[in-house]
Chain A
Amino acid sequence: MSTKLAVKWGLIIALLLGAVILIYPNYKWYSKPLAEREKLDTLGERPKHMLNLGLDLRGGSSLLLELDVSKLNGSEPLNESMARAIEIIRNRIDQYGVAETSITKQGDKWIMVQMPGVSNPQRAEELIGKTAMLEFRIVHKDMSVAQQAIEKLEATEKPFDDNGILQPEIAKLVPAGYQLMRSKDGGYALVTDKATVTGADLETARVVMMGENGYPEVAFTFNAEGSKKFGQLTGSNLGKPLAIILDNTVQSAPTIQARITKDGRISGTFSPEEARSLAIVLKAGALPAPVRVIEKKTIGPTLGEDSIKSGLSASFYAFVIILVFMVIYYKAAGFISDIALLLNFVFTVAIMSYFNATLTLPGIAGMILSLAMAIDANVLIIERMREEKLAGKNIYEIITLGYDKAWSAIFDSNITTIIVGACLLQFGTGPVKGFAVTLIIGLLVSLFTAVFVTRAIYELVLTSNTKEISL
């Protein structure tokens, strides 16, 4: 064996070993029963580099959220608001305890939240959907100053919109410096229009199961800055009611008995679940603007498993048929191509595992295309070799010329398809992306396996003085 060939084989064997090492954790993980996997998942003991299954294959829910850009505070660039919103949603979901949730930005103002294994996303939706804008404002005792506005408000059927914003024609009747806000009991309150203390000043929040009136309450603690501001606010407004406002709704308005600096409580008629969500969202912080669910998908675990089962078994049989056909039609050369095809599959899975890629149904389609291209590469090479054989060349020339002449076609067709993949990757959305990722990985791998590896095999065969290879 020449040194060059030895180096080739060294490389191939090293890569193959690497691939097996990368794939092994997948095998170990997916051979465990579902319950155990879920347990390990919540413990965070999932292998680091692994091929993940998309929601369409394993079941779960996905929510697509839209950030209400019109409600953003204008000073912050949209990108940063989005990053902050994603961070906050991640914090909320993490505390809720869904393992392996992926939260990604899509387009300019969309956020995709994918929760594998969650078949009813309602709780998560509530958790995410809350803007959680906490504010403290002083209530104006004398409602009569806004008499005109209140009369109009009472005459209007729906004075506040879904987000708690007062209709503008009523709002303009309210005297300057004040604002009318809906309260949780269905009424309204006249409060100062600026909040000096907000949820951003909180250090932490927690649930107190038995509050004063028997309902759970949410207790919170201010940070140093917040303590100072809150001390000032309460100290200078003794005897007045303090409105605790969450997402533009007055939750409660206790009268300030003394100057408060550090701790406070939000009471109301919360259920234990509600109180828990509220504590979570307060701790995680407020969203820069409200979000709205614009797409919701859930796929039950059985359906995911069924589609994977029938899909995988059919793909497996299709693959076997191709392998058998290649051997029947191209004999030894077909067998060598089969090795390349198998390796193509192995390397693709290994690379996807390394990058923690997610396999979806469109992703499998991408894999099928890359396998088809790998087959084509081999067919091109073998057909060329046949031509050389018919021209009466010797075995060494057959192989060299076959590869050399087929190379430009293989290279160009793969590059063209990779270009298509790259465009899809750049501009496509979720599922289209999944397709593009597996396609590009598969094509790059096939350039290696279908050309480099098979040639190394032929060269190895030639070293044993073979006079002919059946094509």
Chain B
Amino acid sequence: MMNLLPKTHIDFLKYRKVYYTLFAVLLIGGVICFFTKGFNMGIDFTGGTMVQVQFNAPMEMAQLREALTATGANSEIQSYGNNAFSISEKSTEQEVGVVQARIEQALNTLNVPYTVQQTNSVGPAVGESMTERALGAIALSLVFIIIYVAFRFSNILWGVSGVVALFHDLFLMAVAFSLTGREIDLVVVAAFLTVAGFSINDTIVIFDRMRENIRLHPKMSFGELINLSINETLSRTIITTLTVLFALIVLYFFGGEVINSFAFAMLIGCISGVYSTIALTTPLVYTWSHGQLNDASNPKALKPATKQNVDAIVKEQKAAKPQGKTVTKIKRSRRSKKN
């Protein structure tokens, strides 16, 4: 049996204050970054025109810029090497195609044969609606995730914690794009969505282990139980993440320019996804449920109170309190097949 890591007994929860601090730093830093650096939104979202052109003879960027400025265009030019350039102009003009015609007019003055490889003209209304719909879809799926996780794991806190982690991952990706000034286009949005899916997957796997361990070790303190669950699933987490990272690194370096930004976003998101599950989701579940169990009047507390459950909880609490340790929550599953 080949093993990357031996059986571990790491106390992940111990450092939860550190995780929370880091999260707070990320949030504050991120917001500052958003305000100072902003985002390089692609024309899919801002509206505007992009023309990608391939010259059949050597062409200098300065020369191209001069020709474009001569027609009064305020364009952004990006070189793709090999005499290929992407010229883009953000505009709020209602009439699409006007800017494109002007850019092509400027290209003609250069008297160098060229082929237009790609054009994209987006009206401002389209960009706005695109942003709205994508955000709406993400928000809606977050709500449904909370509901589903709450239903499957009998606790709304688990769902909320999972979504906080998801938010962390998306936020970190946004910061990464803001910092690097990489353009956010539709492909990047697809990457954001992919990370959202993958991040929640990670969370579910650990939740599933916790659910099972609650069944297997009804006497164990909740903190120990969380640590045990993370440690038990650690090798799976690492193997799966490594496999996906391998694939992403290949895509990042060899996938071509379109896939490159997708892979960049995914790389950040995947690493963040693993981190946030261990350092945010489970500590949050721990911190939040701590208060909840002490407050018996809380309607959201864990399980419908069967006599068996209540007895067990009372017993556990008595056992736990003297040591000032974690309060345990008990869930005797009705779904249990094995026990």
Give the B-binding residues of A (Cβ under 8 A). 56, 64, 66, 107, 292-300, 302-303, 306-307, 309-311, 313-315, 317-319, 321-322, 325-326, 328-331, 361-362, 365-366, 368-369, 372-373, 375-376, 379-380, 383, 386-387, 389, 401, 404-405, 408-409, 412-413, 415-417, 419-421, 423-424, 426-429, 431-432, 435, 439, 470-471
Contact residues in B for A428 (Cβ distance below 8 Å):
133-134, 137
Chain B residue at minimum C-beta to C-beta distance from A107? B129
Interface of B is mostly: helix
Contact residues in B for A297 (Cβ distance below 8 Å):
118-121
Contact residues in A for B119 (Cβ distance below 8 Å):
296-298
Check: B125 CB closer than 8 A to any chain A CB. yes
Chain B residue at minimum C-beta to C-beta distance from A125? B97
Contact B144–A379 (Cβ < 8 Å): no
Contact residues in A for B100 (Cβ distance below 8 Å):
296
A423 CB contact (under 8 Å) in B144, B194, B204, B248: B144
A307 to B187, CA, bound (A): 13
A319 to B141, CA, bound (A): 29
Contact B254–A429 (Cβ < 8 Å): no
Query: Contacts A372-B244, A404-B337, A439-B197; is A294 near B125 (CB within 8 Å)?
Result: yes
Contact residues in A for B338 (Cβ distance below 8 Å):
401, 404-405
Count CB-based A-B contacts (< 8 Å): 225
A311 to B261, CA, bound (A): 12
Contact A409–B251 (Cβ < 8 Å): no
Contact A417–B134 (Cβ < 8 Å): no
Interface of A is mostly: helix
Check: B115 CB closer than 8 A to any chain A CB. yes
Contact B259–A310 (Cβ < 8 Å): yes
B201 CB contact (under 8 Å) in A300, A313, A413: A413
Contact A361–B190 (Cβ < 8 Å): yes
Contact residues in A for B187 (Cβ distance below 8 Å):
361-362, 365, 431
- Chain A to chain B: the 5 pairs with minimum beta-carbon distance, closest first: A310-B256, A294-B123, A409-B208, A318-B247, A423-B141
B136 CB contact (under 8 Å) in A361, A416, A427: A427
Chain A residue at minimum C-beta to C-beta distance from B53? A300
Contact B118–A303 (Cβ < 8 Å): yes
Contact residues in B for A317 (Cβ distance below 8 Å):
250, 254
Contact A314–B256 (Cβ < 8 Å): yes
Query: Contacts A431-B186, A432-B134; is A416 near B205 (CB within 8 Å)?
Result: no
- Chain B positions 157 through 174: 1 when the CB is less than 8 Å from some CB of chain A, otherwise 0: 000000000000000000
Contact residues in B for A362 (Cβ distance below 8 Å):
186-187, 189-190
A361 vs chain B, min Cβ distance (A): 6
A331 to B209, CA, bound (A): 25
A419 to B151, CA, bound (A): 14
B72 vs chain A, min Cβ distance (A): 21
Can you list 22 contacts pairing A with B, beta carbon distance less than 8 Å? A293-B97, A295-B122, A298-B120, A299-B118, A314-B250, A314-B251, A314-B253, A314-B259, A318-B250, A322-B246, A362-B190, A366-B190, A366-B194, A380-B236, A383-B236, A408-B208, A408-B211, A413-B205, A417-B197, A417-B200, A417-B201, A435-B194
A303 to B52, CA, bound (A): 10
Chain A residue at minimum C-beta to C-beta distance from B244? A372
Contact residues in A for B144 (Cβ distance below 8 Å):
419-420, 423
Contact A432–B137 (Cβ < 8 Å): yes
Chain A residue at minimum C-beta to C-beta distance from B145? A416
A426 to B130, CA, bound (A): 14
Contact B141–A419 (Cβ < 8 Å): yes
Q: Which of B52, B201, B208 has the most CB of A within 10 A?
A: B201
Q: Which of B4, B121, B193, B251 has the most CB of A within 10 A?
A: B193
A365 to B247, CA, bound (A): 12
Query: Contacts A361-B258, A423-B137, A432-B190; is A296 near B197 (CB within 8 Å)?
Result: no
Check: B75 CB closer than 8 A to any chain A CB. no
B245 vs chain A, min Cβ distance (A): 10
Check: B20 CB closer than 8 A to any chain A CB. no
Chain A residue at minimum C-beta to C-beta distance from B232? A387
Contact residues in A for B337 (Cβ distance below 8 Å):
404
A413 CB contact (under 8 Å) in B138, B200, B255: B200
Contact B133–A409 (Cβ < 8 Å): no
Contact A322–B243 (Cβ < 8 Å): yes
Chain A residue at minimum C-beta to C-beta distance from B84? A303
Chain A residue at minimum C-beta to C-beta distance from B337? A404
Contact residues in A for B148 (Cβ distance below 8 Å):
415-416, 419
Contact residues in B for A315 (Cβ distance below 8 Å):
251, 255
A416 to B49, CA, bound (A): 38
Contact B96–A310 (Cβ < 8 Å): no
Check: B108 CB closer than 8 A to any chain A CB. no
Contact residues in B for A319 (Cβ distance below 8 Å):
247
Contact residues in B for A383 (Cβ distance below 8 Å):
233, 235-236, 239
Check: B14 CB closer than 8 A to any chain A CB. no
B247 CB contact (under 8 Å) in A306, A368, A416: A368
Contact residues in A for B259 (Cβ distance below 8 Å):
307, 310-311, 314, 361
Contact A298–B118 (Cβ < 8 Å): yes
A272 to B286, CA, bound (A): 77
Contact B194–A369 (Cβ < 8 Å): yes
Contact residues in A for B12 (Cβ distance below 8 Å):
none
Contact B239–A416 (Cβ < 8 Å): no
Contact residues in B for A326 (Cβ distance below 8 Å):
243
Contact B208–A412 (Cβ < 8 Å): yes
Contact B140–A311 (Cβ < 8 Å): no
A471 to B52, CA, bound (A): 51
A379 to B4, CA, bound (A): 13
Query: Contacts A318-B247, A325-B243; is A409 near B96 (CB within 8 Å)?
Result: no
A324 to B201, CA, bound (A): 24
Check: B24 CB closer than 8 A to any chain A CB. no
Contact residues in A for B189 (Cβ distance below 8 Å):
362, 431-432
Contact A432–B250 (Cβ < 8 Å): no
Contact residues in A for B56 (Cβ distance below 8 Å):
none
Chain B residue at minimum C-beta to C-beta distance from A61? B119
B1 vs chain A, min Cβ distance (A): 6
Chain A residue at minimum C-beta to C-beta distance from B116? A300
Contact B244–A375 (Cβ < 8 Å): yes
A371 vs chain B, min Cβ distance (A): 8
Contact A413–B2 (Cβ < 8 Å): no
Contact residues in B for A313 (Cβ distance below 8 Å):
254
Chain A residue at minimum C-beta to C-beta distance from B120? A297
Contact A376–B201 (Cβ < 8 Å): yes
